[in-house]
Chain A
Amino acid sequence: MTARTERLRRASLDAIPSISGERAAITTAFYKAQMGRHSIPVLRAMNFYAICDGKALWMGDGELIVGERGPRPKAVPTYPELTCHSAEDLRILDSRPKTQYKVDAAVIAEYEREIIPFWRGRSLRDQMFAELPQDWLDAYAAGCFTEFMEQRAPGHTVADGKLYNKGMLDFKADIARAEAALDFERDPEALDKREQLRAMSISCDAVMRVAERHAELAEAEATQTREGIRREELLTIAGVCRRVPAHAPRDFHEALQMYWFCHLAVITELNGWDAFSPGHLDQHLRPFYEAGLADGTLTRESARELLECFFVKFNNHTAPPKVGVTAAESGTFTDFANINLAGLLRDGSDGSNSLTHLLLDVIDEMHLLQPSSNVQVSRKTPDAVLKHALRVIRNGYGFPSLFNADAVVEEQLRQGKTLEDAREGGCSGCVEVGAFGKEAFILTGYFNLMKMLEFALHDGFDVRTGQYVGARTGDPASFATFDDLFAAFEAQVRHVLDIKIRGNQLIERLYATRMPHTFLSVITDDCIAKGRDYNAGGARYNNTFIQAVGIGSITDSLSALKELVYERGDVSLPGFIETLDADFTGQEPLRQRLLNKTPKYGNDDDDADALMTRTFRMLFDAIDGRPNTKGGAYRLEMLPTTCHVYFGGVCLASADGRGEGQPVSEGISPVQGADRHGPTAVLKSASKMDHVKTGGTLLNMKFTPSLLEGDGGIDNLHSLVRSYFKLDGHHMQFNVVTADLLREAKADPASHRDLIVRVAGYSDYFCDLSEALQDEIIRRTEHTAF
């Protein structure tokens, strides 16, 4: 880092997240004046324009890339037209110990005086909850599933390269052509399309307006600045802001600022889940980088500095806070904007280049919470790229994550995309796969598998909320065989999925008709050509994801039930259920046996893993291909964010030995501590799932530093990744164990039985070592030069 970027980074880290009331105030005033006078799309675009025109600008000292969504870094606006926080919500945000957002008293006062009275009953969330059927509300309250869209717009997509070849004026020309081509005689939708197109054009104006205001601000500051270098920089910034986003960028600096203005535009108009992402940044910047190096206007160092400034911008953009259950499902400040590296070009060749390495260096050095980063690893990706990424990963910050670019192409081909679009796509958010620049790949809420098994064991009764929520699958005493039990589990899954999907369809239509995302439609193909909004099926591809959580816990639970009840007859099913309902009270030996002596997923045990694949196939058959409301389909994904905590929290004890309220397993990882045969066994188990049929799977792996030492350690990790991807695994993320985790393991060995220690010719588990030895290893881990 340079002195400048060190300062900017420090300022970003030190900035305290807060709630800004500005956007709510502008929106409320605008709606009061204009609601009812315009079609909804045009109203939304005009509101967006009003925000761009009226919001306070912020230009940080020493910044090179400019623009903040809020009035200053980490000041997060609210979106009352989607979800109107109550005064109590705001007070909770201000005072809660984790993920706190400071809220000024003035903001709360404004909310009480103006915002809440206007939006109560008008916000999309209020409308949604009024429309959703009772069975959806009951299932939601019972923790069967979550739903982002009750508080955040669908969002979730990624930019492609067109931002670097076109400016807003070019997009406006496209829009004008599309509007001119409308056939008001034969096309009954012509009026709707015209309104959508007009709205898109207004959005272009909005983002150009905010850039223009930044240019004016930079010029004003330049006249106030005596210091020569900064003065020059401000004039450069002004020039960049006059050029982009109105026109296509011409150089590296303009390219970054172009993306950034578009990013701000997307997340200012609506608070889409997972914000927005630049996609294959190393591919998109390459021509600007090479041209700049060639004509001497750019050096590797100056490019690096600009990238570091760019990264700081992402870090300044804390996720808008949620309230209620949605807050518990992912309690984090990050908004999951993701940088993709390597991957493939449209023609199928390797997409990595020298910028890939430069960006890895930036990621390594800056370690900020945001942006997230990942490497799309293809069989064509040079080993040097993957090994560089692994060295960064070994430093222990969890980034970048690794994706199987070839499997990602296959997944998308299976979904019916063209080969070129599939290659140009990739992963974002957590692990979701999509065609960048051309797809609305929307996450709906997570799905609680453990609750479904719980329903099967209770004839559809939800003990926690005290009512029948699931299907009536009968008295478990009547499940004579394991297949009977599994059939009941399946029936519960299908019953609740039907409820969820019916609700999703309704929510999708609410967004389509009442909450378009007009700017996102400008830059997502084929919204302009179709005259249709991003939330209404305007994109070329429209996939809707359902994320199933807890397959590890389910597999282990089914395994225990199968063995103890149906194979050995050690315990009757009603007896087992009674034990679970009592949270294993008086049954500790049984619980230990369940934890330690039953076959579990993650150990390359074919019997246990067969239950995982059976569950997966059942989920896939129940979800994949069902039509959404946008001409696309539902797809199955396996990731939790932090929802495995919430979902476990609403479930009783389970047959795998899990206690009541304890988290379930995350992603497709084994239940924590269940894997006792090392990483190759975990990967073999995970690869028995058919990843190509999913929209993404998430696998977290933990390593102690002793396993990763030296070049040999990198080589071995490299082999694990290549092998797992040869087996079609979708994603891997590595956590290198820190001394703190080892301390935790020492204090709570039962939860960390999977921590392995390796030295030559030796075999043991960390938790089996003496305390003195554990301390010694902890000390060593702290001092290891990572």
Chain B
Amino acid sequence: MKGGLVFNVQRFSVHDGPGVRTTVFMKGCPLCCAWCHNPESQSASPEFVRLRHLCMSCGRCSEDELDSPIVTDRNEDDVEACPTGALQGVGERVEPEALVASLLRDRIFFDESGGGVTISGGEPLVQPAFVTEVLRLLRAEGVHTALDTCGFGRWPDLRDAAAQANLVLYDLKLMDPARHMAATGVPNEIILDNLRSLAGVHPAIWIRIPVVPGVNDDDGNIEAAADFVRSLPGIRQVDLLPYHPTGEAKFARLGLDYALQGTPPPERSRLDALAARFRERGLFTTIGGHA
């Protein structure tokens, strides 16, 4: 099988499912959310970035090139040759077997903590065959698997990948189709339909709601989301994920504009109030992963 394009494998991930996990970040995403904290994940092609603050000006890149963050004419050899690692490649192709062998290195921590591997990104459903195969191989090794998805993809792809996941982390951003399109660049009907179908067949789903002030944290959206989630079977918990501006630096690195400049993280009292909406409906709800 052709390899998958991965842009990071992060060991000791403690916010992407239960226990101590390794999270695999797939490259490529059909959405372009304004608050994305991994914008380097959006393009489905390998890219190159310069981390300017790491650069020692060794002379391999011209001053003009250093001033422009978009890197268009470099390759892996250049990345290798960059002494400080300021020039980085984003996105590496890897075969499923090789990736799984590498993931199993932390199996003792998975065993001890009730953790495992989470496939995230980007959007795993952009590379469905690869993701499904990786999850399948992990399951065969007795490793707990989680799929972190926004649900924007073909239903058969989601169904097959989710069948190999002990747990699905499913993003819900905005309920209103027009607002969803404006904020993420895609409609949400597929996302909601897929979630309905998934809830009918998968026993363990966590709903993840990024709470972005001024974008989706209004009562209307949250009430609608809570009602929707309540109507579905198999929803184990709801995680409200407070917006944080840490992705901002990455936008600059990629030469992208950051639309949410100046947006503060949500207030704790607001998060509590929003969590209450879900808890009223009998849904176990965490804030940032904490109950």
Contact = CB atoms under 8 A, between A and B. Distances in A.
Interface in B1-51: 8, 10-16, 19-20, 22-23, 25, 37-38, 51
Closest 6 CB pairs of A and B: A719-B113, A592-B83, A760-B15, A678-B12, A770-B249, A710-B290
Interface in A730-774: 749, 757-764, 768-770, 773
Contacts of B148: 761
B266 interface: no
B106 interface: yes
A98 interface: no
Contact of B290 (A712, A720, A757, A768): A712
Contacts of A760: 15-16, 208, 239, 241, 288-289
B83 A596 contact: yes
A727 interface: yes
Interface residues of A, number: 43
Nearest to A722: B112
A756 to B, nearest CB: 8
Nearest to A773: B246
A719 B109 contact: yes
Nearest to B83: A592
B213 interface: no
Contacts of A770: 248-249, 252
Interface string B245-258: 11111101000000
A225 interface: no
Interface stretch (A81-89, A523-531, A679-687): A679-687
Contact of A596 (B14, B15, B22, B85): B85
B105 interface: yes
Given A589-B56, A596-B83, A764 B246 contact: yes
B83 A679 contact: no
B105 A684 contact: yes
B108 interface: yes
Nearest to A676: B85
Contact of B80 (A589, A597, A726): A597
B15 to A, nearest CB: 4
B112 A758 contact: no
Nearest to A604: B105
B194 interface: no
A192 interface: no
A723 interface: yes
A485 to B, nearest CB: 24
Interface string A591-608: 111011100000010000
Interface of B: 8, 10-16, 19-20, 22-23, 25, 37-38, 51, 53-54, 56, 58, 80, 83-85, 105-106, 108-109, 111-113, 115, 120, 148, 208, 239, 241, 244-250, 252, 288-291
A757 B246 contact: yes
Interface in A657-680: 677-680
A649 interface: no
Interface in A765-786: 768-770, 773, 776
B20 A716 contact: yes
A758 B14 contact: yes
B249 A713 contact: no
B252 A715 contact: no
B19 A719 contact: yes
Nearest to A677: B11
A719 B115 contact: yes
Most buried by B among A712, A722, A727: A712
6 contacts: A597-B80, A710-B290, A719-B19, A723-B111, A758-B12, A762-B38
Contacts of B58: 588-589, 592
Given A588-B83, A768-B51, A768-B53, 20 more contacts: A589-B56, A589-B58, A593-B83, A596-B83, A596-B84, A597-B83, A604-B105, A678-B12, A680-B22, A719-B112, A719-B113, A719-B115, A727-B108, A758-B13, A759-B244, A760-B288, A761-B120, A762-B15, A769-B249, A770-B249
Given A678-B11, A761-B16, A716 B38 contact: no
Contacts of B109: 680, 719-720, 723
Contacts of B208: 760-761
B8 A763 contact: yes
Interface of A: 588-593, 595-597, 604, 677-681, 684, 707, 709-710, 712-713, 715-716, 719-720, 722-723, 726-727, 749, 757-764, 768-770, 773, 776
Nearest to A595: B84
A722 B58 CA distance: 45
Nearest to A683: B109
B19 A769 contact: no
A768 B249 contact: yes
B288 A759 contact: yes
Contacts of B38: 761-763
Contacts of B115: 719
Contacts of A710: 289-291
A680 B20 contact: yes
Contacts of A590: 83
A299 B112 CA distance: 38
B205 to A, nearest CB: 16
B20 A719 contact: yes
A759 B25 contact: no
A200 to B, nearest CB: 49
B249 A720 contact: no
B14 A707 contact: yes
Contacts of B10: 678, 763
B112 A723 contact: yes
Contacts of A727: 108
Nearest to B241: A760
Nearest to A596: B85
B49 to A, nearest CB: 11
Contacts of B23: 761, 763
A604 B22 CA distance: 14
A687 to B, nearest CB: 9
B246 A588 contact: no
Most buried by B among A604, A759, A776: A759
Contacts of A593: 83
A715 B109 CA distance: 12
Contacts of A726: 108, 112
Contacts of B37: 759, 761-762
A715 B113 CA distance: 7
Contacts of B245: 773, 776
